Homo-oligomer: A and B are copies of this chain.
Amino acid sequence: AMEKLFSKELHVTVKCRDIRLTDNGDPYFLFNLTISEEDFQTLKVQQGLLIDFASFPQKFIELLNLCYSEQESDSPRFLLYLSCQSPVLEGSATFTVVETNAFKHLNHLSLRLAHGSDNEVKEYLAVCLSSLKVEKQNLYTKLKKTEEDLSRQLSYAQQ
C-alpha cells in the first residue's frame, strides 16, 4: 500500500541520526530508524548519495522542508511516500522522498523504518501524556487568569 504522507499529518522527528515517524491521530503509529555510520555508508552506496554522514541530518531536514513547503500546492514537486506492510502496525515502513518532474519520479532518499515495539510505543505515549498534561495545566491557568483579569476590568468599568 502506497500512502501520501501528509494526508495523515505525520510528524517526522530527526534527532541526530534517529528518525521517528508518528501520527497525532493514531497513538499506536510509531516507526523508528537509527542510522549508524555503517548503515549510512551502505545507504550511500545503494542510493548513490553524495552527502556525508555528518551532513546527513541537516540535508534530510532540508528535503523534508521542501516537501512540507509544497503541501498546499496542487501539483507538488516534492512528495513524501510511505509504503507499509499489511497490517500497518507490524513490520516495517518505507519512507521515500520523491521529486516529480516532467519526465519521471525521482527517488531522492528511501528509508526503511521499523515499527516501534510495545515497549517503545508505551514510552512514547507516556511522554505524549506528560506533555499534554502540562499543556492542559497551562490552559487551565490561562483560563483562570483570563477570568480574573476580565472580571476585574469589568467591575472597574461598571463603577
Closest to A136 in B: B136
Partner of A27, one of B118, B125, B151: B125
**A16 → B minimal CB distance (Å):** 25
Judged by a CB distance under 8 angstroms, whether A133 is at the interface is: yes
Q: Once bound together, how far apart are the Cα atoms of A128 and B142, in whole Å?
A: 23
Interface of A is mostly: helix
Interface size bucket, A side?
Answer: 20 to 34
Q: Once bound together, how far apart are the Cα atoms of A154 and B136, in whole Å?
A: 27
A154 surroundings in chain B (CB, below 8 A): 150, 153-154, 157
A142 surroundings in chain B (CB, below 8 A): 143
Closest to A119 in B: B118
Judged by a CB distance under 8 angstroms, whether A3 is at the interface is: no
Q: Tell whether, in the assembled complex, residue A118 and residue B122 are in contact, meaning their CB atoms are under 8 Å apart.
A: yes
Judged by a CB distance under 8 angstroms, whether A139 is at the interface is: yes
Q: State which residues 108-122 of A face B: CB under 8 Å.
A: 117-119, 121-122
Judged by a CB distance under 8 angstroms, whether A39 is at the interface is: no
- Chain A positions 122 through 159: 1 when the CB is less than 8 Å from some CB of chain B, otherwise 0: 10011011101101100110110011001101100110
A121 surroundings in chain B (CB, below 8 A): 118, 122
Q: Once bound together, how far apart are the Cα atoms of A150 and B145, in whole Å?
A: 12
Q: Once bound together, how far apart are the Cα atoms of A118 and B123, in whole Å?
A: 9
A128 surroundings in chain B (CB, below 8 A): 125, 129
Can you name 8 A-B residue pairings with CB atoms under 8 Å?
A: A117-B118, A121-B122, A125-B126, A125-B128, A139-B143, A147-B150, A150-B150, A157-B157
